[in-house]
A and B are shown apart, each in its own frame.
Chain A
């Protein structure tokens, strides 16, 4: 018998004739928590700061986002940012762009000053930003190899809870849930920021 049939056979023998067991979801489901938009953004900001991310608030318009990005560039003396193919034109002037088109090599990404992307969803309660490899988020690798990740979160994409976030996401896409810059708890079980992923996470919260 092949391994597949044998393992499945063993499982069937082990569980016998078991009936389907119910799953009762009495926890707060998607949509269960309503919050004022302003409160949600406050909460998200506080959570992100707790993770040692940098948060910049601005109005929810392309001009305001562009101004915030320019502010980050001048503050960090950064001249060029990797951008995914579908990043809105208005967010960054062409001379500051290093488009991932054709796909940038690992070597180029490793030497890049930083990357600017959009995001799919942000979860306020846990300070989590989700990238879904859509045109404005880009390939997974571009937000992984550069040391600085600037991510734009729009107020309309901020949801209160984890169930709200999970409900909005499409699992057929590769997803990355990001809660702060890279960190580890491996030294005496304390969180230390900055290991393999981007060590600086700048969140531009538009709205």
Chain B
């Protein structure tokens, strides 16, 4: 049994939980035809691209294994590595801050911005700052935060929420993006078409003056090298370079798990990340910096190291590996559930398979029947596509099952879920048994019409279905269907 339940409260706070359970939120998403078309198109595109560029790397499996080992090594040595990172960043002219949770991180950043005298900041897309709800906090403090990543800009202008960790506006197609720009972007040409190149140009014009006059930038980081104090941001558009280079002050907010031991480790992640995320051999721009460089770039650099529930996740021996995530989004793009529901249904800033484990690990679960993050571990058919796609081999299905067990334990023995879970736990504890159960339920398809079981499902699954809609079994299980249709996924 894990040590998760007994840990002292050091839970993650911020934008990590929605306000309704997944099945309810997913219900709305599933009714939105346009959303499903947009997602279907975008995820199919990226799956094909990713499969091609992964297939051409001879030693892909060895790289994945090295990535996994490096991350596991980091978790086991995290205190020393963070201390070393702090020492190196400080020695190179940076200042390191530590934040226990989102509130503390927000306060640190706001105070740093205020100290510069500036009331606006430019931002590079960063999951960590989204997680802590930094933009909203800064706004309440009278500081305007301008997102500069194209997809973030689309989300911000559209008064919308991100729905994907890499492409936050994946749920919008080009025509919808054009309409948002026409309605919300000051000075945009009225004859703007939905040609992607024109939309990109419009974003360029819109942000140019901001870049050239901004005094403070806020970024996240894809990695930090402990032994050299080097931070890195992997991006495409050049908005990252602008933020990291032009302002006088740079503030980087980074989860404590992003540290890597040595410069050399970058050779692994610079191969795994671009191919897994945008399906490119390499992303257009990667910037690395160590402290400050006189005469080149910001003269002041602050690094904020964020816990916000990560130590809680770390204490969970199975869940710990969720902290290995390099936020490539490959698991989202291959997930049959994500493809249909989109990211908003997950409530947290971390959607998809990784979100379904990371969000409850960071916030903890309550055992409540309608607790949003308690519902996330059930947002999966356990088909295993996420595990196969993950560049650092995170066994997300095993974690989902683990978290379902924990939810049931927290919920107490009386619920129908608990009774059926006991059986499910046995069934899901082996992939073979699970696959078999899937096929058995497919054989039962004659008993179900239009979503309404015409005969009750056999125990123990009847207890389960009291609280969930059982989808009409198709001719194939998700798992079989996936293997047939996505044999390319690795």
Contacts and interface: CB of A to CB of B under 8 A. Distances in A.
Interface string B137-163: 000000000001111001000000000
B73 A183 contact: no
A176 B241 contact: yes
A21 B68 CA distance: 11
A36 interface: no
Given A182-B236, A184-B236, A171 B154 contact: no
Contacts of A195: 150, 200, 203-204, 236-239
A15 B236 contact: no
Interface string B35-72: 00010011101100100000000110011011001101
A97 interface: no
Interface string B290-312: 10010111000000010100011
Given A23-B69, A28-B58, A175-B287, A186 B149 contact: yes
Interface stretch (A1-9, A57-65, A68-76): A1-9
> Which of A127, A128, A140, A188 has its CB near the most chain B CB atoms (within 10 A)?
A188
A182 B284 contact: yes
A194 B62 CA distance: 34
A26 B282 contact: no
A21 B290 contact: no
A30 to B, nearest CB: 7
B167 interface: yes
Given A139-B295, A171-B288, A21 B69 contact: yes
A162 B267 contact: yes
A126 B201 CA distance: 26
Contacts of B274: 126
B476 to A, nearest CB: 26
A191 interface: yes
B281 A8 contact: no
Contacts of B154: 186
Contacts of B167: 185-186, 189
B98 A3 contact: yes
A96 interface: no
B288 A15 contact: no
A182 B43 CA distance: 22
B183 interface: no
Interface string A12-31: 11110011111111111110
B296 A21 contact: no
Nearest to B108: A3
A28 B263 CA distance: 17
B283 A179 contact: yes
Given A103-B295, A128-B282, A179-B284, A186 B169 contact: yes
A184 B285 contact: no
Interface string A185-207: 11111111111111000000000
A29 B268 CA distance: 10
A115 to B, nearest CB: 14
A29 to B, nearest CB: 8
Given A13-B315, A144-B242, A194 B200 contact: yes
Interface in A44-101: 47, 51
Interface stretch (B75-83, B380-388, B442-450): B75-83
A169 B225 CA distance: 14
A163 B75 CA distance: 23
A202 to B, nearest CB: 15
Interface residues of B, number: 97
Given A11-B314, A23-B66, A185-B278, A196 B284 contact: no
B151 A20 contact: no
Interface stretch (B113-121, B170-178, B390-398, B408-416): B170-178
Nearest to A50: B281
B406 interface: no
A171 B92 CA distance: 12
B238 A197 contact: yes
A7 B208 CA distance: 39
B307 A10 contact: yes
Interface string A164-186: 01110101111111111111111
A141 interface: yes
Nearest to B63: A27
> Which of A27, A139, A183, A186 has its CB near the most chain B CB atoms (within 10 A)?
A186
Interface string B89-111: 00010000111100010000000
A39 interface: no
Contact of B73 (A20, A125, A180): A20
B378 interface: no
Nearest to B72: A21
Contacts of A197: 237-238, 241-242, 284-285
B211 interface: yes
Contact of B263 (A107, A166, A187): A166
B246 A106 contact: yes
A41 to B, nearest CB: 17
Contacts of B236: 182-186, 195
Contact of B297 (A107, A174, A193): A174
Contacts of A42: none
Contact of B100 (A6, A12, A14): A6
Contacts of A196: 148, 203-204, 207-208, 211, 237-239, 241-242
A59 B266 CA distance: 33
A112 interface: no
Q: Which 5 A-B pairs have the closest CB atoms?
A: A197-B238, A195-B237, A196-B238, A14-B315, A10-B311
Interface of B: 7, 10, 38, 41-43, 45-46, 49, 58-59, 62-63, 65-66, 69-70, 72-73, 75-79, 82-83, 92, 97-100, 104, 148-151, 154, 166-167, 169-170, 173-174, 177, 196-197, 199-201, 203-204, 207-208, 211-212, 225, 228, 230, 236-239, 241-242, 245-246, 256, 263-264, 266-268, 270-271, 274, 278, 280-290, 293, 295-297, 305, 307, 311-312, 314-315
Given A123-B282, A182-B238, A188-B41, 7 more contacts: A13-B311, A27-B66, A47-B281, A189-B42, A196-B238, A197-B238, A197-B242
Interface of A: 2-4, 6-8, 10-15, 18-30, 47, 51, 103, 106-107, 110, 123, 125-128, 133, 139-141, 144-145, 162-163, 165-167, 169, 171-198
